[in-house]
Homo-oligomer: A and B are copies of this chain.
Amino acid sequence: MNSLVCLIQVEAQPPGLHNNTADLDRLQQALRNTLADGRSVSIPYRAMVHVSRGFRGAGFRGWALLNNLEHGWEVVDFFNEKPLQVPAMALDLGTTHLEASLLDLQTGATLSEGDCENTQIVFGADILSRIHHATSLRRQQKPLLKDFLDPGLDELQKIIITAVNELAEMLVRRAGLEVGEIRALAVSGNTTMAHLFLGMDPYYICREPYIPLFNRAPVIFGRDIGLSTHAMAPVWIMPSVGSYFGGDLISGILASGMAESEKTRMLIDVGTNAEVVLGNSEWLIACAGAAGPALEGGVARMGMRAGPGAIEYVSIDPVSYEISYRIIGEVAPKGICGSGLIDLVAALYLARIIDIRGKYRDPGTEKDPLRAEFMKKHLVAVDDGFSFVLTGNADSGLTGQVVLEQIDLDAMIRSKAAMYAILTTLINQVGLEFVALEEITVAGAFGRHINPQSAMTLGMLPDLPLSTYRAIGNSSLRGAEKVLLDRGARLACEQILSSITYLELNVNQEFMIRFSGARFIPHTDPSLFPSVLSFREMDG
């Protein structure tokens, strides 16, 4: 009786001359007695015909399906026999990708999973160009009339609803169900995506003082926004804290469990941005910064999202200089994803192919013969220095190979520096040190595959025992699953919203200083990374 939609067994007395309660009052009374939680039980107008026929047709006993909403219970269906499943969809509404799972709310079991591109991408890869498209016409009209239409916004909403409907179709097909059988949906996305999903004006999100139209969405139903789920399926939109702190991160906090933990933890979620939360059951502090792009495949020429053809793991033997790598799927390598990139740069550092600034060293100046041979084999001289050929030899040229150029390496170093600067600024803000952390939860496509050892070698993540790190994959999706299954998680959202503080990094002087110090491998202050060998130590 905690899930967003619940199945409740009902055994009511049939009516008689001395028991002439109306059918629906009888059902409500029986449910109130069974639920016994003092919350109201209503039957929405749109469900009255269906529920009353089901209830009478079943002889006043059977199974009622109820939406478990904050203002009370809503009866939406009635069954003669217990349905096999109560399917519900959890959705991570990402800016570039949608990822979803179909759960059975009765057992919590995952029935199927799926993902697809966010087709809004035709109007721009990033949030700002989506907002621009949504509000391109309205900017010509001020003051805004109440009944003005935003055709761009409508278009973006239609596109995303269509994509979600198609993803829902994929999920139910894989589970052998019909899309109308989906009885609930939980959506976790950033603030702009939540606005576009509901067709709400995102205009002021990206304009000082950065005010969203809403943080908490009301209860809506599948039919209200054109979803092909069951018409009475409640749609839970994960609440956001502000323009730059969306429901996806609230999901992450839920999924990490940090808001229930007495000991302090840190959550790192790298998507398009790096978003970091620090705290425990008493307090939470969060910030975000542009540490992600180099890791997400948005910047590096050969960078790509973790998926078939992506190199996700790389190592270089420090003695034999032999390269190993692992590709996702049994296909030829097409590029390198965030975790592979971190592995590769860490390995290049440990093999001394790059220096502490992240620059390729000149093979001509190398004295160690084995290393010099390796460098000659993999480094190709280009205009601005060298490029590293990962999947072949320098002789085979750059075409068709997975290559790391100096410019991409530079971007990677900036990203790792930004990440470490974010983490240190944040922990410093509350007067703690990294060793005080019980756990660092790493989320995102990045977090699913990352080797924390490589990230520590680069000075990207703090130098802590490996057991401190825990990867939880797509925490935005996991949080959406949690609110589908657990009313406690839904109530906890409000608690999280009220206990969270947001630290603005764009105007933070300390962050800029820390960023400069972190642009070396592992850091200008190597004492911060005692477990990472410096070149001097490598040389013995």
The residues of A with any CB-CB pair to B shorter than 8 Å are 15-17, 19-25, 40, 42-46, 48-50, 52-54, 56-57, 71-72, 143-148, 198-201, 204, 208-220, 224-225, 240, 242-243
Residues of B within 8 A of A42 (CB): 71, 218-219
Q: A144-B57, A209-B16 are in contact. Are A49 and B199 (CB under 8 A)?
A: yes
Instruction: Determine which of B22, B146, B148, B242 lies in contact with A215 in the assembled complex, contact meaning CB atoms within 8 Å.
Output: B22
Q: Is the CB of A218 within 8 A of B146?
A: no
Q: Is the CB of A22 within 8 A of B199?
A: no
**What's the least CB distance linking A61 to chain B, in Å?**
15
Q: A16-B209, A44-B218 are in contact. Are A201 and B52 (CB under 8 A)?
A: yes
**Looking across the interface, which residue of chain B has its beta carbon closest to that of A504?**
B17
Residues of B within 8 A of A211 (CB): 15, 20-23
**What's the least CB distance linking A160 to chain B, in Å?**
16
**Looking across the interface, which residue of chain B has its beta carbon closest to that of A75?**
B218
Residues of B within 8 A of A214 (CB): 22-25, 43, 48, 52
Q: Is the CB of A52 within 8 A of B213?
A: yes
Q: A40-B71, A57-B144 are in contact. Are A208 and B17 (CB under 8 A)?
A: yes
**What's the least CB distance linking A197 to chain B, in Å?**
12
**What's the least CB distance linking A2 to chain B, in Å?**
21
Q: Is the CB of A198 within 8 A of B52?
A: no
**Looking across the interface, which residue of chain B has its beta carbon closest to that of A59?**
B143
Q: Is the CB of A20 within 8 A of B198?
A: no
Instruction: Determine which of B40, B204, B209, B217 lies in contact with A17 in the assembled complex, contact meaning CB atoms within 8 Å.
Output: B209
Q: Is the CB of A53 within 8 A of B148?
A: yes
Residues of B within 8 A of A50 (CB): 146-147
Q: A143-B57, A214-B22, A214-B23 are in contact. Are A45 and B243 (CB under 8 A)?
A: no
**Looking across the interface, which residue of chain B has its beta carbon closest to that of A54?**
B146
Query: In the assembly, what is the distance between CA of A216 and CA of B48, in Å?
Result: 11
Q: Is the CB of A15 within 8 A of B209?
A: yes
Q: Is the CB of B45 within 8 A of A218?
A: yes
Query: Main SS of the interface on chain A?
Result: loop
Q: What are 12 of the A-B contact pairs (CB < 8 Å)?
A: A20-B210, A22-B212, A22-B213, A25-B215, A42-B218, A43-B214, A45-B219, A49-B200, A52-B200, A52-B201, A53-B145, A53-B201
Residues of B within 8 A of A240 (CB): 22
Residues of B within 8 A of A15 (CB): 209, 211
**What's the least CB distance linking A533 to chain B, in Å?**
45
**Looking across the interface, which residue of chain B has its beta carbon closest to that of A142?**
B57
Q: A57-B146, A148-B53, A218-B48 are in contact. Are A213 and B20 (CB under 8 A)?
A: no
Query: In the assembly, what is the distance between CA of A74 and CA of B22, in Å?
Result: 28
**Looking across the interface, which residue of chain B has its beta carbon closest to that of A191?**
B22
**What's the least CB distance linking A472 to chain B, in Å?**
28
Residues of B within 8 A of A209 (CB): 15-17, 19-20
Query: In the assembly, what is the distance between CA of A23 and CA of B214, in Å?
Result: 6
Q: A22-B242, A43-B218 are in contact. Are A144 and B198 (CB under 8 A)?
A: no
**Looking across the interface, which residue of chain B has its beta carbon closest to that of A225?**
B45
Q: Is the CB of B23 within 8 A of A220?
A: no
**Looking across the interface, which residue of chain B has its beta carbon closest to that of A51?**
B146
Query: In the assembly, what is the distance between CA of A23 and CA of B213, in Å?
Result: 5
Residues of B within 8 A of A49 (CB): 199-201
Residues of B within 8 A of A72 (CB): 71
Residues of B within 8 A of A145 (CB): 53
Query: In the assembly, what is the distance between CA of A200 and CA of B50, in Å?
Result: 10
**What's the least CB distance linking A303 to chain B, in Å?**
33
Instruction: Determine which of B25, B45, B224 lies in contact with A46 in the assembled complex, contact meaning CB atoms within 8 Å.
Output: B224
Residues of B within 8 A of A23 (CB): 204, 211-214
**What's the least CB distance linking A514 to chain B, in Å?**
23
Residues of B within 8 A of A43 (CB): 214, 218
Query: In the assembly, what is the distance between CA of A427 and CA of B148, in Å?
Result: 63
